[in-house]
Amino acid sequence: MAIFSLIIFLFGLIIGSFLNCVIYRLALPNFSLKNLGGLKGRSFCPLCKHELAWQDLIPVFSFIFLRGKCRYCREKISLQYPLVELAAGIIFLLVFLPWCNEFTPVNLLSLWYFWIISCFLIVIFVYDLKHYIIPDKIIYPAIIIAGIFNLQFLISEEGSAPFFTFAPINGSSVFNYSILAAILVAAFFLAIVLISRGKWMGIGDIKLAFLMGLFLGWPNILVALFSAFFIGAIIGVGLVLSGKKTLKSEVPFGPFLVTGTFIALFWGQEIIDRYLNLFLL
């Protein structure tokens, strides 16, 4: 168990390094997930453009060994790189743990599905934080994959829900709850965009909300939304009080939505149970 967990964590670190490459090159005009055109070629320092050797590309450890500086130009390396790698490693491990004792073909398919969508969410988190935009090149493939994954439950006569869902229900209900959650939350965000005329939310947030609904289903999507708005409010107030932002400043909401999604994914059931117990008492 411990060895498997370590392997999965290291695997996540490696994937995190790849995601850093995707995040950096995503803005390039020739970037494409279809042919990975923007990912061809050796990795290089974003500052001095020097090609990196293999010892410069070891996730997290290279950053520590180089003391956070490029080996060639000695400029500081962004903390984004080790943080994304660590985040991917931790998320991959957390996704893996519920499956560690139940390796079946269906569970392995679900495991890879959750890993893949998690990768998309990590990219969205960082890219929106840096560029204030949720790229269509990332959000649309994620929605398609989530839709196809949920479609399997509709066409199966009786299928148990994947891990991280509210309760084991029949296949068609899994599909219906996911579609219901996606449509309702996307409509909610669309209403916010229309009312504020795009000042409070963007079109990208609507697309991300739709993905969240497909990914989490009902009612876990409620946990994600509550967490996103709660964390966003706290950080927003903190930024205003610290003078780093004003009430009119633009703050990307995508990172909060992604954070809420992971909270709901890993602890949504526990949060719902605690809330219901508290309410019933």
- Per-domain residue ranges of the chain: 1-101, 133-281
Q: pLDDT band at residue 123, thresholds of 50, 70 and 90?
A: very high
Q: pLDDT band at residue 91, thresholds of 50, 70 and 90?
A: very high
pLDDT at 30: 61
What pTM value is reported for the model?
0.86
- The DSSP secondary structure of 104-160, one letter per residue, reads -HHHHHHHHHHHHHHHHHHHHHHHHHHHS---HHHHHHHHHHHHHHHHHHHHSSS-P
pLDDT at 161: 45
Mean pLDDT on 47-73: 79
Q: Which residue has the higher pLDDT, 143 or 53?
A: 143
H, E, C per residue of 155-211? HCCCCCCCCCCCCCCCHHHHHHHHHHHHHHHHHHHHHHHHHHCCCCCCHHHHHHHHH
The pLDDT mean for the chain works out to 82
198 forms beta bridges with none
pLDDT at 238: 86
Q: Give whichever of 27-41, 113-127, 179-193 has the largest mean pLDDT.
A: 113-127
Query: Per-residue pLDDT tens for 221-246?
Result: 999 999 999 999 999 888 888 877 77
Lowest-pLDDT choice from 9-23, 98-112, 129-143, 187-201: 98-112
Q: Which residue has the tokens 């269906």?
A: 106
Query: Per-residue pLDDT tens for 34-57?
Result: 544 445 566 777 777 777 777 777
Residue 103 φ then ψ, to 5°: -85, 100
pLDDT at 24: 85
Mean pLDDT on 206-211: 95
Q: pLDDT band at residue 11, thresholds of 50, 70 and 90?
A: very high
pLDDT at 37: 47
